[in-house]
Amino acid sequence: MSKIAAAMIMGAGLGTRMRPLTDDRPKPLVMVGGKTLIDHSIDRLVAAGVTRIVVNLHYKAQMLRDHLSKRLDAEIVFSDETAQLLDTGGGLVKAMPHFGNTPFFVINSDSIWVEGKTAALPAMIAAWDEFRMDGLLLLAQMKTALGYEGAGDFALTADKKIVRAREAAPPHYAYPGVQIVHPRMFEGAPAGAFSTNVMWDRAIAAGRLSGTLLDGVWIHVGTPQARDEAEAYLKAPA
């Protein structure tokens, strides 16, 4: 199995939909199940063998720096966006020098999941094929996507290639905000702020964006109500 030792956690968002929980803290520091959202992500990454994590910063950046200074189980590097929010794609481009020419995980800080029999990140590493893929997205079945309000983001072809849900028959899947990215996917990217969707569409057209299904339950913690639902789910007996 190839090893993926680096990751980026998207921590720069304003967290407006999470207010009032984000009035006094950035969204990655919202507590769920006894620990912060970002600590859920870091715990998963460290367990999968990741040793270096880049976190982008904007809203209440110093609080996030101070909190993460306590994590000693991985090297944590910051990509500062306090001067300008760059959206998901622009944020990745700004942080790209930290990754050289090696693939890395990207995790949205408002995404947590409960593992099934197969741990998600090691399964993604096993599915990753650097020669055939520029990106690999984790996908959740709709019935196991808690707090998700959409009708599905993507579908999969027979050979696990990603297709936009609007262009494919069901089943459709939700995107839980977890992917493996090779830096080449962002070659020729736009300047400034832009969405990763721009680069995904290019990779889809080239047949170089693949997907793999989560074995477990994804919990999207995007609103105070969703946070409360996540708390209740995590406390419920198995």
User: What domain count does the chain have?
Assistant: 1
Residue 173 in domain: yes
Return the sign of the alpha-carbon dihedral for residues 221, 224, 230, 235. Answer: positive
DSSP code per residue over 173-219: EE--SEEEE-GGGGTTPPSSS--THHHHHHHHHTT-EEEEE-SEEEE
CA dist 166 and 160 (Å) reads 17
Residue 195 in domain: yes
Per residue in 201-228, pLDDT tens? 999 999 999 999 999 999 888 888 888 8
pLDDT over 80 (residue 106) = yes
Integer Rg of the chain from CA: 17
Residue 1 in domain: no
Range of the domain at 169: 6-235
Residue 147 in domain: yes
> What local confidence, expressed as pLDDT, does residue 45 receive?
95
Contacts of 172 (CB under 8 A, 6+ apart): 142, 151, 152, 153, 154, 155, 165
Residue 63 in domain: yes
- Of the pLDDT bands very low, low, confident and very high (cuts 50, 70, 90), residue 1 is very low
pLDDT over 90 (residue 39) = yes
Q: Please indicate whether residue 137 or residue 1 has the higher confidence score (pLDDT).
A: 137
Per residue in 44-58, pLDDT tens? 999 999 999 999 998
Residue 204 in domain: yes
- Of the pLDDT bands very low, low, confident and very high (cuts 50, 70, 90), residue 148 is confident
pLDDT over 70 (residue 237) = no
Per residue in 177-202, pLDDT tens? 999 999 999 999 999 999 999 999 99
pLDDT over 70 (residue 23) = yes
> What local confidence, expressed as pLDDT, does residue 73 receive?
92
Residue 59 in domain: yes
Residue 194 in domain: yes
Q: What is the CATH number of the domain that holds 51?
A: 3.90.550.10
Computed over every residue of the chain, the mean pLDDT equals: 91
